[in-house]
Amino acid sequence: MPHVRERSSGFAFDAKCPGSCTYLMRLLIGSLLCFVIAAAVGLGSTWLAVSHGVTIGALTIGAWTARPKLGTAEIDPYARAEIERRGELPVALGDGITFMAQSDDADNPLDGRCEVTVRGITPQARFFTVTLYDPNGKLVGNVINRYGFTSQELTRNADGSFELAVGPRARPGNWLPTGGIERYLLAIRLYDTPVGIASKAGRETPMPTITTRRCQ
């Protein structure tokens, strides 16, 4: 049988030499493995960013974090995928800004079984709301159907500050029930406010403090 040389995909090998075939198969398998690993890492990191939220261009003041570009054309792809997955409609930057908190000022996760106090003032705004959500962004059911407060509903002190009790047991005054869920989020939406991308320092933008008092 004559000596034959074949060429496949740019690699020359000897038909009588099985080592060439073995080398080519290892090369193909190695390339495929690298592709699978890269795809897994890319998809995994994207899933984490979308499911847990990313803070690209975030504005953090105390326990509160806002993402001013969320309602603009400059929104990052991770944030876009996140709000599309949840079916949310972000507040446009020209209309206002949303601050979210998932922990208190001591970095303890907000626990619906604990008594939490939100105290202080908000930045200048024509109107604002305070709302409680579960970790999936859904309203938390309760017997009095109270899911949040507007700036017109909150009882305030003489200096304009307010104190909001958040917890499982009823309290006089401003009380936001948690339904005893293990974890929750608080959102403050400011409408017609100067707070935005230009606000960088906490001293420029006052936000209420969040303090955990006691737990069941």
Q: What are the pLDDT digits (tens) for 90-110?
A: 565 557 888 999 999 999 999
Does residue 66 share a domain with residue 35?
Answer: no
More confident residue, 138 or 13: 138
pLDDT at residue 24 tops 90:
no
Mean pLDDT of 147-161: 93
Does residue 59 share a domain with residue 46?
Answer: no
Does residue 104 share a domain with residue 13?
Answer: no
Does residue 165 share a domain with residue 120?
Answer: yes
Predicted confidence at residue 34, as pLDDT, reads: 81
pLDDT at residue 87 tops 70:
no
Up-side HSE of residue 170: CA atoms within 13 Å toward CB? 6
The separation between the first and the last C-alpha atoms of the chain, rounded to the nearest angstrom, is: 87
More confident residue, 90 or 147: 147
Count the domains in the chain. Answer: 2
Does residue 171 share a domain with residue 137?
Answer: yes
Rounded to two decimals, the pTM is: 0.66
Does residue 42 share a domain with residue 106?
Answer: no
Predicted confidence at residue 56, as pLDDT, reads: 58
Mean pLDDT of 135-144: 89
Does residue 114 share a domain with residue 25?
Answer: no
Does residue 118 share a domain with residue 28?
Answer: no
Mean pLDDT of 35-53: 57
Does residue 120 share a domain with residue 162?
Answer: yes
Q: What is the mean pLDDT of the chain?
A: 77
Mean pLDDT of 182-203: 75
Does residue 71 share a domain with residue 168?
Answer: yes
Does residue 123 share a domain with residue 109?
Answer: yes
Predicted confidence at residue 43, as pLDDT, reads: 54
* Most confident of the ranges 86-90, 93-97, 182-186: 182-186
Model confidence band, residue 176 (pLDDT cutoffs 50, 70, 90): very high
Which of 74, 82, 81 has its CA nearest to residue 57?
Answer: 74
pLDDT at residue 190 tops 60:
yes
Residue 99, domain extent: 54-215
Mean pLDDT of 73-87: 52
- DSSP per position, 49-111: HHHH---TT-EEETTEEE-GGGGSTT--HHHHHHHHHHT--PPPTTTEEEEEESB-TTSPBP-
Model confidence band, residue 192 (pLDDT cutoffs 50, 70, 90): confident
Please report, for the domain that includes residue 80, its CATH number: 2.60.120.600
Does residue 143 share a domain with residue 45?
Answer: no
